[in-house]
Structure 1
């Protein structure tokens, strides 16, 4: 069998780091999803049940989850480039397990603590968990860049994204019944245990996780300035950051009003939003699965930029429909290019950023979009409730109210963003076939001759590509 016939999946599973890191990520993500559903149900149906301040308590969960991205994210990006990343992964998971596990004391203490103390405890645990998650995410990006060859990274992100989509599809029907059947304790224990399992799996393999000497010797502020200069001087990073920030602002507008679109524009029951989200997750899964093949044909920059144009057009069409089945079909279709873009963008970024700067540079991909998302949700809610509440326009036979007007603006923003970043991305992104693969761990001969042969086959493919490029 020729080297070129070895599938990306077999090549990935031949890498020891992937065999442990992939299930670790799946277990951790499943635990997170169960926890996210559980903590919201716990607050709404128990701790704040029947209270006028219940919506505020539910909002507190979202704020507690968002704050670490803004406050801890930049710090995590710097330290991920300055310390041993494998230790950082394991320690971050341990901190998360302890923070979530501490919440098991709330049911045990019962009435000995007030509701205010219980809520403050939950919010603090969420802040600590998400703060540790910032360190984990930055270290994990470096692990992927160090252990997965460039030509396999999109396939790796495709498989990880597919697993996340399946969890998003199957999670709600499982998490809510689990809470009502056995209470919050079981879900909290599942999430805490998932972090411990992840730590165990991530400790089962070794990789070159030590930081570059120059980065380790820099002071914190010097390291932060170095990363800022690297981002400012990188056209691809500037284009990607701009695109993600604007698109996140646009999607934030939709997220705030999705329920109102279903009730006020489609004139259907609010609970049918769940059907829309389920088909959106299925569409995302389809886009994620097709991303590696599309990247080989079109290239990551084209997929990334064109996806925003396609999604924007889809939202414009969605804003004009009054049929729920048509809305479901459009939601499914517009999720596909979004899933493909989510899969290819991080491998594309890794090709343009030196590995020793990965933490400091990629942190902007979370901080700026998070600011945009929070701003968008706050501004949109205020505008629709005040300035735009009386909008009732008929233009060329098309009626526009406050909610669908916001959707039209969101779609136009996405289309404009895709058009604006298309050329900068295409001009600044290196071809994946020309990039040098990141260092990887030694073949795991204990896994059998098939694993070693697959890795050797992958190396032969890379060598042939280099030869063709050089000629």
Structure 2
């Protein structure tokens, strides 16, 4: 009887595991941390927008949050990969979690409706400037630490997940990220309206602590070679960085994926920048439904999780990857031509299914082509390249939509095209170009 109950308990535990115990813990910790990040960034945006609602420089101040989060990926990301390859990845992730929690909590005394205690009333403008400056610094610092945390997470998947289950693992991670983004955004509005900015900061710090506790429960035996820490000299760092870049250049699959992912990031950068204008102006969706409208397509990530596991066994990783890129690009072009909200929403869900398939397969493809000692450098380089392309797309689409293409209006029978539509079509063409590039180099 006792043996039967123990067996039943073991089976019940197995049901709640995703792939295996280590992956389940890592997935749960990463999800909690991601929800906290989205909540934190969204609440900061709402806080600055409310604080500066009557100021002409409010849009610039809000864009400072995104810039503060993106710059570390460009400046620190490639170098972080060098150290990730040297350090113990599980310990690195835990240290980054603690440091990020402390940084976020440092904002508590500064943010709030009252002036800073060490500044008098006549210096309220300086107080506001210091609050904004401190916010940007903390966002940039936490993003810098994430450049060490994120590649460590992806590299660790190669040790804790069997090779044949990597597509499913990355699919689960990608789909969960979409849902976490949707849930975090919705929670941020409620949290800010009823509980204030300080509670959002506390919740984000708590999410890092939860991640720290969960990652500590993992039982990981990393290869001894990855635990060797060389003497930290500047010329060694640059030498190893160059070795990682040369590895990408010499391996056709890595080189092909880097260019395809850059085109994907460029296209998505355009879509994300113009989403508000496309939904409210082209589709005429009311402002009070905007949040719901952008959150529904993320459900496509759930379907993508199932579809990746099924399709990979039938056709292979690379074929599914470039097919998904092509389908996502075609869907984007068709969405850009729409003026009916329901048809556009269906198209967005289908596009997200294809995008989640492509994004879920990048990790397994990279791990299959990358030597174990260079995984951190390769993932960091990909992160830097995609962030650069996304920022370039954000700048170009915002500039062209506000200047050269602002007055463009084309009419073709039942189709009306404006600047937003044309730029979204360009985004779809970028994805199609990426898919075709991978297709062309698939057998070389």
Q: For the superposition of Structure 1 and Structure 2, which TM-score range results when normalised by the shorter chain?
A: 0.7 to 0.9
Return the match for 1:142 from 147, 151, 155. 155
Shift of 1:14: 7.1
Shift of 1:401: 2.5
Of stretches 218-227 and 357-366 in structure 1, the one that deviates more from structure 2 is 218-227
Aligned to 1:86: 90
Unaligned runs of 5+ in 1: 1-5, 429-471
In the aligned structure 2, how far is the partner of 1:24 from the partner of 1:31? 11
In the aligned structure 2, how far is the partner of 1:19 from the partner of 1:41? 33
Return the match for 2:99 from 92, 95, 98. 95
Shift of 1:343: 1.4
Q: Does 1:22 align with 2:41?
A: no
Moved over 6 A (4+): none
Q: Does 1:44 align with 2:49?
A: yes
Aligned to 2:194: 181
Q: Does 1:253 align with 2:266?
A: no
In the aligned structure 1, how far is the partner of 2:264 from the partner of 2:25? 33
In the aligned structure 2, how far is the partner of 1:14 from the partner of 1:381? 42
Q: Deviations over 1:31-80 (max 9, x none)?
A: 1122122111121123x342222211111101011011111101111100
Aligned to 1:314: 331
Over 3 Å counting, the alpha-carbon distance change for 1:264 and 1:214 in structure 2 is: closer
Of stretches 62-71 and 375-384 in structure 1, the one that deviates more from structure 2 is 375-384
Instruction: Please tell me the root mean square deviation across aligned C-alpha atoms, in Å.
Output: 2.4
Q: Does 1:371 align with 2:388?
A: yes
Over 3 Å counting, the alpha-carbon distance change for 1:102 and 1:397 in structure 2 is: closer
CA contact (8 A) 2:176 2:301 kept: no
In the aligned structure 1, how far is the partner of 2:150 from the partner of 2:426? 32
Return the match for 1:326 from 339, 343, 353. 343
Alignment of 1:28-177 (within 5 A): 28-46=33-51, 48-107=52-111, 110-112=114-116, 114-177=127-190
Shift of 1:230: 0.6
Over 3 Å counting, the alpha-carbon distance change for 1:69 and 1:233 in structure 2 is: same
Over 3 Å counting, the alpha-carbon distance change for 1:398 and 1:197 in structure 2 is: closer
Count matched residues.
419
Shift of 1:349: 1.1
**Could you tell me the TM-score, scaled by structure 2's length?**
0.88
CA contact (8 A) 2:88 2:226 kept: no
Of stretches 274-283 and 191-200 in structure 1, the one that deviates more from structure 2 is 274-283
CA contact (8 A) 2:191 2:200 kept: yes
Over 3 Å counting, the alpha-carbon distance change for 1:226 and 1:98 in structure 2 is: same
Q: Does 1:337 align with 2:354?
A: yes
In the aligned structure 2, how far is the partner of 1:357 from the partner of 1:208? 18
In the aligned structure 1, how far is the partner of 2:238 from the partner of 2:393? 30
Q: Does 1:301 align with 2:318?
A: yes
In the aligned structure 1, how far is the partner of 2:305 from the partner of 2:401? 34
SS at match of 1:393: strand
Q: Deviations over 1:313-353 (max 9, x none)?
A: 11121122221111111111111111111112201211111
Return the match for 1:348 from 360, 365, 375. 365
CA contact (8 A) 2:112 2:197 kept: no
Aligned to 1:441: none
CA contact (8 A) 1:20 1:202 kept: yes
Alignment of 1:212-251 (within 5 A): 212=225, 216-217=229-230, 219-251=236-268
SS at match of 2:406: coil
SS at match of 1:105: coil
SS at match of 2:443: helix
CA contact (8 A) 2:103 2:138 kept: yes
In the aligned structure 2, how far is the partner of 1:289 from the partner of 1:416? 26
